[in-house]
């Protein structure tokens, strides 16, 4: 659910970033396309860590005004972009989960903790 929510918000943000009147610089096309592509891959669960990291970087860069800003009041301003970035970083750290294309292609991973030895 978390992965799908961030993916959907990323797609909407990327589409709104690309919509608009007049000429847009190349950076707007790159950021909008990255958000849409990352959102789609998050929705299907493919290359989840990379996609969530790209979403987080794009949103933080937009919030810090490194990239041109999206249309006004799209994410409500303030701390909302940071919430989206924090959630995307959380997905990056948690991984794709069982219901994802990554989970289907590479299998579920089991964490094995070796037994303690007497020396430690």
The encoded tokens of residue 54 equal 């790209």
Residue 9 neighbours by CB distance under 10 Å:
20
- Supply the pLDDT for residue 4: 82
Residues of the chain with pLDDT under 70: 21, 66-80, 82, 97-99, 102, 108-109, 111, 120
Question: Is-contact 62 16, C-beta < 8 A?
Answer: no
């Amino acid at each position: 659910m978390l992965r799908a929510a961030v993916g959907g918000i990323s797609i909407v943000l990327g589409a709104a970033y690309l919509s608009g009147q007049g000429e847009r610089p190349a950076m707007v096309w790159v950021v909008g396309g990255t958000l849409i592509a990352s959102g789609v891959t998050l929705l299907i669960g493919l290359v989840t860590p990379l996609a969530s990291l790209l979403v987080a970087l794009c949103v933080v860069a937009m919030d810090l005004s490194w990239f041109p800003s999206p249309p006004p009041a799209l994410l409500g301003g303030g701390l909302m972009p940071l919430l989206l970035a924090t959630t995307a970083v959380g997905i990056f750290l948690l991984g794709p989960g069982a219901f994802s294309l990554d989970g289907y292609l590479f299998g579920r991973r089991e964490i094995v903790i070796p037994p303690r030895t007497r020396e430690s």
